[in-house]
Structure 1
Amino acid sequence: MKSKNGLAVMVGLIIFVLLIGLAILLQSAYLLYAATAVPILLVPFLPDWSSTQTLRPGRRTSKVRLYRTAQEEGEGFLVIEADPGAIQWNKRKLLFSLEGVPVHTGDPLPASSAALTVLLYDLSKHGRKKSRFAIELAHLKDRVSSLSYTTDEVTRLVIRMEDLSTLDPAFQAPRTTQVRKGLEA
């Protein structure tokens, strides 16, 4: 929640509690009516949590894996590999963090998987968190509609690391441990 919105919600809650308290103390129906209007006025200031999906690949039950590919020339790619149904395509944004992303040194992506390239146009920087980025899922859905497969078949999202550093010039690709074992197809 943004600080301005947070302040508005806190002030609104305090006014609501005060009006309810005064309505009970003074036994006034008008103060009770005024108190019921306060939550309606607070709705525009509430955060929209249901429109984003945050990827947390480090958990045991996670259906999503993030890794970077190792390239001799250039910075390589960031790959978001997900089980079918793990990406909620009805959301607006897909948030991910670059902290602790391992480097995969094995074979490149298998040809049998349906991969979708995430362009610089599809990416945005998270406002407050430095190493967090967002993917606009509506852009990807539009692009998939012209392809021969559906969003349910997409198992990998591929992002150029160069695009991430373009979004945030202060961003340096994190130096992490290398993963040497292969991934299941």
Structure 2
Amino acid sequence: MTTEELKPIGEDASLLLVDDDEPFLRRLARAMEKRGFAPEMAGSVAAGKAIATARPPAYAVVDLRLDDGNGLDVVETIRDKRPDARIVVLTGYGAIATAVAAVKLGAADYLSKPADANDITAALLAMPDELPPPPENPMSADRVRWEHIQRVYELCDRNVSETARRLNMHRRTLQRILAKRSPK
């Protein structure tokens, strides 16, 4: 996406970053600051909601799954306090249902991790009536499958037998998949 297709950041460049992965949060804050934003970081749902209530940001990047709850609660708080805010939801566990929920609550876009600062900036600054460009480096089919299996495994409280049953997969096959490293 070229700079002509992006709307300008504007006078209010406040950006709320909510993620419980502290190294990622710091890297993203530095990268977004270089792009003209004024980032403020939060490592939890509670901290994100407190900042959104006290100083509603013009832009926000919120992780979906946080240690203390669901990032969609932060999205909802931002929407209540500042309806014109541009919000991007990030997640390592991409699913259609959560993407729909994020957009219904007012997120401008939904990106799968790992998303780089350029993708996030493009999503934040894209015109509201335009579709964002396709990702430069989309996840491979093997990676999407692995992410889905990991998500179901986490939702089943890391119970291999229950996960295998829900995925209609043999338990030993699932154990071999879980023992391997994630595909690129």
Whether these two folds match at TM > 0.5 is: no
Q: Relative contact order, CA 8 A, sep 6+: which one is greater?
A: 1
* TM-score, structure 2 as length reference: 0.29
- Name the larger-Rg structure: 1
* TM-score, structure 1 as length reference: 0.29
Name whichever structure is richer in strand by fraction.
Answer: 1
